[in-house]
Structure 1
Amino acid sequence: MAAPEPEHPRRTRYDRDPAAPGGGSRGSGPADRVPQLLDAMRWVGTGLERHATLDRICQTAAQLTGARYAAIGVVDADGTGLADFVTYGVPAETEREIGRRPDGRTGLLGALLHHPEPLRLADLTTDPRAAGLPPGHPPMRSFLGVPIRVHGEVFGNLYLTEKRGGARFDEGDLHTVQVLAAGAGTAIGNARLYEAARQRERWIDGSVAVTTALLSGGDADEALSVVAEQVRALAGASAGIVLLPAAEGGGLEAVAVSCDGPHSLLGAIADERSPAVAAVLAGEPVITTDAAGDPRTAGTPVDRFGPALLLPLRSGDRVLGALAVPRVPGARPFTGTERTLATRFASQAAVALRVAEAQRDRERLAVLEDRDRIARDLHDLVVQRLFTAGMTLENAQRSSAVPAVQDGVGRAVDELDTTIQEIRTAVFALQQGPAEAPAGLRTRVLREIAMAAVTLGFTPAHRFTGPVDSAVSEPTGKNLVAALREALSNAYRHARAHRVEVVVDASAVLPGGRPGVRLTVADDGVGIPPGGRRSGLRNLARRAESLGGSCHCGPGLGEDGGGTSVVWEAPLRTA
């Protein structure tokens, strides 16, 4: 047992005069102890700060019994060890030399934890249950341990050792310590209730933040990042990972990660053959105290961690994905309360995710309906008018005898024919559904350009260089398309551009000589305000960095470099 305080602690208003009968370091008589006990009990109810209360109880117990050292061990939520250890009597430098505080699973502390009955020993070193003292620990012989109970529930133990004068703790000491243990139980119970209420409040606030982010109509990836960040912070975990069904090959893909350092887990695939993935997709949570050594979690993004939760994002009878919450190896396991709160959080996030998905479906349907209307108007109205204008010009050409007029009208008719062909191509692109489009990267880029043309009012120019379809891997291509969508959205929402050019170069060479793909989206708009950043540029950089690439902005297509060019690049294939 370790404790913090010099051998001769400072005098307080709880100390008695050592010269007084029965006072000072040798303890007090039963009657003399009553005022101090009453004072200590009154102090217990003055606040919810547990450590201050337990410090005072340790100090009072040591002074009233004449003990040199005192400690209170607080049982963890699962009742298997000590979650906290408050001490009195040992200098701070000695405590630092001893190192790690006891966990209460072995020795006399473990015996008291598993058999919570008062224990008095004249010499603890002779008891077979004693596990010995660590190097640097001050000598201890006489021992008194009393369980701390509230309504029959054991919250911890109050320990006293080394009664001054070499005496053994007597019955009076035992009764005194039992009264103080009752006060400690009240303090611990109140603090636990307060902390439980605060913990539930934090999880509720986190659920509200997630729901707001998912339903705000903003960037979906950013909203999922909020889910990962919130669950990591609330659970005190090393990482928060949102996994959704992978686009190809089955399994679950890490689409949002919150952790220290680079997001190396972003894009990781949880193998569909993993027992943990099968359980989560069936709607069952997976809880482990050591993910690195648990065969169920092999092949998942948490298989390098310690304690971990894999919770299904389940809404009704549908599992949308999973939420992974791991801690570093050797960290404390998740308590029952934490597991319950995290499961409720995952359920709330799943409901919000499903509502957001339905909201996006409605928005996509509205866009498709608008595209159909635009396609019909172009075909039924614009093209027909252009045909009529062309026929009128041809009649005028035949009626004129002036060669210059005939040539000029002929060129105008040719331009109208070209315009009609371009409009027909645009109509086809507008009417083409997502399921009808081939899966090649070039086609997906063209689809994004055609969709952007509806909002921009013109079709961006585009150019491809290198083997775009064959050289670029699926993860890189998927992120490139998302980056293109964001860049074109910025050009429409912020740049007020009249001209946009898109270049996809699959023969680019990245820093370090790595082969890569470079996406350039340039416009002639208003540019980025000084000191400002367009919405979404941070997302573009994050996507590139997660693949080992980069993203930066430069001059655009306007006069003297006006406007903005976004250059996004990443390796052709990721590790």
Structure 2
Amino acid sequence: MPVRLEDVLGIGDDLALRTTLQHLVDSAAELVGARYGALGVVEPERGGLAELFTTGTRGGTGGSGGTGGTGGTDPERAGRLAEGSTGLPGLLLTDPRPLRVDDAAADPRSAGTPPGPPPVRSFLGVPVQLDEEVLGHLYLTGKRRGPFTEQDQNLLRILASQAAIAIGNARLYGTARQRERWITGAAAVTTALLTGVNAMDALMTVAESARALADAFAGVVLQPTDEGGMEIVAASTSDDPGDIVGTTIAPGSPVLVQLLGGEPVFIEDSSTDPRMTTHVRSRFGPSMMLPLQSGGKLIGTLALPRRRGGKPYRAVDRLLATQFASQAALALVLADSQHDRERLAVYEDRDRIARDLHDLVVQRLFATEMMLESTRRRVTDPSLDGLLGRAVDELDSTIQEVRTTIFALQQPPADGPTGVRASVLRETGGAAVLLGLRPSVRFSGAVDTLVSPRVARELLAALRGALAAAHRRGGATAIEVEVDATARAANGTGRVRLVVTDDGTREDGGPGGTTVTWESPR
């Protein structure tokens, strides 16, 4: 059945695009009567084919099936993409004009055209083009009855136009959704930073949110060192980032020079780029290093590396991440200023309380002590004298305790402790950017005291996995997280249990939600 234009115009997600393109190439081969057909999609910005949808067989037997970039092993897929980039098909990409050949074997341009058996004779191809941009090509080979005609070519051009509209709409939709996610994420980060988190939690919030939005393996924040280099002070990864935190970039590094100049650094492959000098670079591939600056001052760097061999960042990825870094830097400065104001208000309040205690309470207690001491000197009853003596001693001890409290009030308050509870809350808060909702969290027992650091790391990894799975399944409107440090095994030993429940789509596609349970000895 031919593809309807309204279906092409309504394409949004990637799955719908793949289905439509496969349907288009199937329809083209069926309507024209060709044994083999292929529709190639050019990879934006980098050139070359990103996907190749095929139907029929080169030999003229068998059914249809599309690679869509997903079928077969990587070498098989690479071979099929190469076939669509050379010979007559490749010519459609470099010289985007309709091409009709009655005997491909006799045409010198056919080198690389998909071979037989039997050998390919007739070839008909048209570019998939939107305005002046070549998005791919659509071609057929081996017409069953006679050569390809002008009517076949016109029909193929119509189908190629539908393919161009479908690809263009899908890319516009994808870009719009991506922009929406980054804008929403940046707003959520700004809100989170202005709610009063400490400096390290603020950096982790930026790192975690950026990692999720950029689909990166790691989100890393670096800050300048006294020696003129940069040090990784916060890192968010899907596993333990312990060996990443503390890594430094030496002063004078080409990357550092560019960052200190306020310019972002985009790297195709961190493992081979000579500008990268850290010991962790070997595990990373494409990367973005974005300056966090405000008022012309560099306050840090946000790095977003993907795994080695990962897909490269596109121009729109780089633009949106750079805008996010600019807003995150401003939010960090505002949060730091707000934190300073709040600390100053606390200092002023504590100082006022200390003055009141010293000027009012201590003076009155001291006056009362002096009155009792004076009364004691005039008492002749030994029992009463002992009672007054104990009262004077108690007042003296109380005065000393109040003075100790006054001294403590005049010291700067330390940042609140961070433990399992704070880490879980930070993790769910960061995931809210990607999920579009904030999970509810409930704790049972003294989790910060009962759970060991090693188990805490495993618990956080399990939590990340459960939240990522909920996001992947989609459809969730509520997510509940429970951490129970009072659980018991059958033999009575203490355990910690994590339960993550969501009301989204199950793995099997049905409704009813999913519950993920993780448990470990404390």
- TM-score, normalising length: structure 2: 0.70
Could you tell me whether the CA contact under 8 Å between 1:239 and 1:257 is conserved in 2?
yes
Structure 1 counterpart SS, 2:307: coil
Aligned length: 427
Q: How far, CA to CA, are the matches of 1:53 and 1:45 in structure 2? A: 11
Kindly provide the amino acid, as one letter, of the partner of residue 39 in structure 2.
I
Partner of 1:336: 315
Could you tell me whether the CA contact under 8 Å between 2:293 and 2:329 is conserved in 1?
yes
Partner of 2:470: none
Q: How far did residue 543 of structure 1 move?
A: 11
Q: How far did residue 256 of structure 1 move?
A: 4.0
Could you tell me whether the CA contact under 8 Å between 1:155 and 1:188 is conserved in 2?
yes
Q: How far did residue 285 of structure 1 move?
A: 0.6
Q: Out of 349, 360, 374, which is 2:339 matched to?
A: 360
Where does 1:261-272 land on structure 2 (aligned, <5 Å)? 261-264=239-242, 267-272=245-250
Q: How far, CA to CA, are the matches of 1:93 and 1:72 in structure 2? A: 9
Q: Out of 125, 131, 151, which is 1:145 matched to?
A: 125
Could you tell me whether the CA contact under 8 Å between 2:55 and 2:66 is conserved in 1?
no
1:472-497 Cα deviation digits (max 9, x unpaired): xxxxxxxxx6559979xxxxxxxxxx
Is 2:40 the counterpart of 1:50? no
Q: How far did residue 198 of structure 1 move?
A: 1.7
Kindly provide the amino acid, as one letter, of the partner of residue 208 in structure 2.
E
Q: How far did residue 349 of structure 1 move?
A: 1.5
Partner of 2:236: 258
Tell me: CA distance 1:120–1:251, structure 2 relative to 1, closer, same or farther (3 Å). Answer: same
Could you tell me whether the CA contact under 8 Å between 1:302 and 1:308 is conserved in 2?
no
Q: CA RMSD in A?
A: 4.0
Q: How far did residue 553 of structure 1 move?
A: 7.0
Is 2:373 the counterpart of 1:394? yes
Q: How far, CA to CA, are the matches of 2:347 and 2:317 in structure 1? A: 44
1:242-284 Cα deviation digits (max 9, x unpaired): 33446x7664444443322223356333324243234324321
Q: How far did residue 156 of structure 1 move?
A: 1.2
Partner of 1:163: 143
Structure 1 counterpart SS, 2:126: strand
Where does 1:311-460 land on structure 2 (aligned, <5 Å)? 311-432=290-411, 448=414
Partner of 1:202: 181
Q: How far, CA to CA, are the matches of 1:397 and 1:345 in structure 2? A: 74
1:492-538 Cα deviation digits (max 9, x unpaired): xxxxxxxxxxxxxxxxxxxxxxxxxxxxxxxxxxxxx9963689889
Same amino acid, percent of matched pairs: 45
Tell me: CA distance 1:88–1:265, structure 2 relative to 1, closer, same or farther (3 Å). Answer: farther
Is 2:212 the counterpart of 1:233? yes
Tell me: CA distance 1:318–1:536, structure 2 relative to 1, closer, same or farther (3 Å). Answer: farther
Structure 2 counterpart SS, 1:144: strand
Kindly provide the amino acid, as one letter, of the partner of residue 124 in structure 2.
L
Q: How far did residue 58 of structure 1 move?
A: 0.7
**Which of 1 and 2 has greater Rg?**
1
Partner of 1:100: 77
Could you tell me whether the CA contact under 8 Å between 1:125 and 1:141 is conserved in 2?
no
Partner of 1:308: 287
Q: How far did residue 47 of structure 1 move?
A: 4.3
Could you tell me whether the CA contact under 8 Å between 1:257 and 1:265 is conserved in 2?
no
Kindly provide the amino acid, as one letter, of the partner of residue 48 in structure 2.
G
Q: How far did residue 384 of structure 1 move?
A: 1.4
Partner of 2:35: 68
Tell me: CA distance 1:204–1:292, structure 2 relative to 1, closer, same or farther (3 Å). Answer: same
Please list every run of 5 or more consecutive structure 1 residues that lacks an aligned counterpart in the other structure: 1-12, 15-38, 435-446, 453-480, 488-528, 555-575
1:356-403 Cα deviation digits (max 9, x unpaired): 112111100101101211221122122212221221122122112233
Q: How far, CA to CA, are the matches of 1:261 and 1:302 in structure 2? A: 16
Kindly provide the amino acid, as one letter, of the partner of residue 403 in structure 2.
R
Q: How far did residue 342 of structure 1 move?
A: 0.9
1:34-55 Cα deviation digits (max 9, x unpaired): xxxxx75565445444223322
Partner of 1:532: 444
Q: How far did residue 305 of structure 1 move?
A: 0.3
- TM-score, normalising length: structure 1: 0.64
Kindly provide the amino acid, as one letter, of the partner of residue 342 in structure 1.
A
